Amino acid sequence: MRITLVVAVIVILCAIPVASADNNSTDTIITVDSTNLRFSPSTVTINEGDAIRFFWDGQLLPHNAVEENETFDSGDTSADEDYRFVFVLGLNGTFDYHCEPHRSLGMIGQIIVNPLPPAENNTTEDDLIVEMEDEGEAFMPFLTMPSISAAIVLAALLRNKESDD
């Protein structure tokens, strides 16, 4: 019985990193502060491969976020926003953006994207895979299911084997 438990625990533990990697988001959230006319934080520094997420809800005023060179554009203004943009590898530098209706009121921001050091460029494929997994978030729970099912089946098999002995 002890072996059964150990095997089950090991199999389940193996499944956990898959689930937590899914939650291990590098998203930097930019929202709107209490003045209703400022991004918060207004300046962020991230790395290539990271994502920013413009997120706010129930705002008094509708906002959007548009990059100066249209590198990103959250679209129409909204009191409830959830817009995510990934700075893919090779997309780095300083990106100035603004809220279209409130630009003249100072609703502007800046995103500084650091290039990855050359050594880290070896992880290019891994990063891309992580990004793809992020996009497929809804499917991730199913990936952990086979592991858990395997643990249950394994435990049942071992239990039968032990009772035979």
Of the listed pieces 18-26, 94-102, 117-125, 129-137, which binds Cu ion according to CB under 5 A? 94-102
Of the listed pieces 4-12, 44-52, 103-111, 127-135, which binds Cu ion according to CB under 5 A? 103-111
How many residues interact with Cu ion (rule CB under 5 A)? Answer: 4
In this structure, the strands spanning 66-67 and 93-98 are: antiparallel
The single residue among 4, 47, 63, 155 that binds Cu ion, judged by CB under 5 A, is 63
Nearer to Cu ion, 63 or 81 (CB): 63
In this structure, the strands spanning 39-40 and 28-32 are: antiparallel
The single residue among 107, 113, 116, 151 that binds Cu ion, judged by CB under 5 A, is 107
Q: Which residues bind Cu ion (CB under 5 A)?
A: 63, 99, 102, 107
